[in-house]
Amino acid sequence: MNMPPTPAAPDAFARGLAGVVAGRTAVCSLEGDLRYRGYSIEPLARAGDFEEVAYLLLHGELPTRAERDAFAARVTSAARSLDPAVIDCLHRLAAARPDAAPMDALRTGVSLLGQIERDVLPGRREALLAQAERLLGQVPALLAAWCDLASGRPVAPWPTGSIAAALLERLTGRTPPADHAAIFGTTLVLYAEHEFNASTFTARTIVSTGSDMHSGITGAIGALKGPLHGGANEQVLEVLAAIGSAERAEAWLEEQFAAKRVVMGFGHRVYKDGDVRAKLLGAMCRALTRGTAAEPLEGLAARVESLMLARKGLRPNLDWPAARVYHALGLPVSVFTPIFVVARMSGWTAHVIEQIGDNRLIRPLSLYCGPAPRDYVPLASRVGQAEACPTRTGFSLSPIRP
């Protein structure tokens, strides 16, 4: 007789690996303050220099002016030299499915880049750093190329300037004013790295098997696509649009609470007293939108923040102000999460290099909660559940005779 499944002991495992220390990293720390390679996030975010931060994450130290300029030149060169075979593949995909998600196009594009580079096994540290720098330029160029191709336009050339200014120009079709490029750069800095989050852990797990950087990054993009991770920033604007006005905020939230729905943009697995990144960017967002057509949205956002804190004790995470910043900059919602990919490419590749440099296969255990041990029955001797348990169906097992 089969025994019922043995229930798992409630404290024998951590759901979602919450609170589990799964390894060591020198890339980022969340202890007390978010720090990249030991540097507090606040001055890095206020400077808004994504190239400086990407260099820091990859090379371990802040660059000199000469090092930063040389690094930026290498990244820009990569952005301007996408292999024509990749563009051709994306063009064919856009012709067949122009409505395909940009995240899917990025995932496909990075995989194609790996094939073109013949990235099969991890190389030496110098080769990995060169790969990472190329990806830092190639991925924003892939995103911009996809947006052109999906809209039926030829792929425009990559502009001069920083990654932030160039990408913002490519995505909006106009040269951004200095304050727009600056706050966009700040969002890239804030999204650049965040320790062992789901997508970073995915990348580290993949390369821990001895696989290559492009495979790890392709997997990370797939993980970031999910609405509980990177995809949340797209849903923030949907939340604000659904509420519509500050006067309707309380009633709308009550509906969500009653239905036990998650309100995107609030709460964080790690930050219990509020996301420092959200505080920094929230203040910048309010300054950016003051006196503009986007300012009324800030009043609605402030009302929602107040109600969420009062009712649920939840504070905003980074996605909450980032979505509003991107909206104010005139960016379509479909590129919000791909922009996250552009930024996090710096953190992902830094973690991939770190994992490869001191590797051990990531292979956790599980707590089994299925059926108890049971005997195998040959196929010819098996009967269906209805035949074995006639009282459950009411049918007789007597054969039907002609």
From the candidates 59, 83, 104, 229, give the one annotated as an active-site residue.
229
Nearest 5°: the CA angle 54, 55, 59 is 125
From the candidates 148, 180, 319, 327, give the one annotated as an active-site residue.
319
The identity of residue 352, as a single letter, is V
Whole-number Å distance between alpha carbons of 50 and 217? 19
Phi-psi category of residue 264: left, alpha or beta, with phi > 0 → left and psi -120 to 50 → alpha: beta
The pair phi, psi for residue 39, each rounded to 5°, is: -90, 130
Cβ(89)–Cβ(115) below 8 Å: no
Dihedral sign from CA coordinates of 136, 137, 138, 140: positive
Catalytic (active site) residue 229: yes
Catalytic (active site) residue 319: yes
Whole-number Å distance between alpha carbons of 264 and 317? 9
From the candidates 180, 194, 268, 351, give the one annotated as an active-site residue.
268
Report the C-alpha dihedral over residues 86, 90, 95, 100, rounded to 10 degrees.
Answer: 170
Whole-number Å distance between alpha carbons of 286 and 372? 58
Our measurement of the distance from residue 22's CA atom to the centroid of its chain's CA atoms, rounded to an integer in Å, reads 20
Specify burial of residue 398 (Cβ count, 10 A radius: 0-12, 13-18, 19+): exposed
Catalytic residues: 229, 268, 319
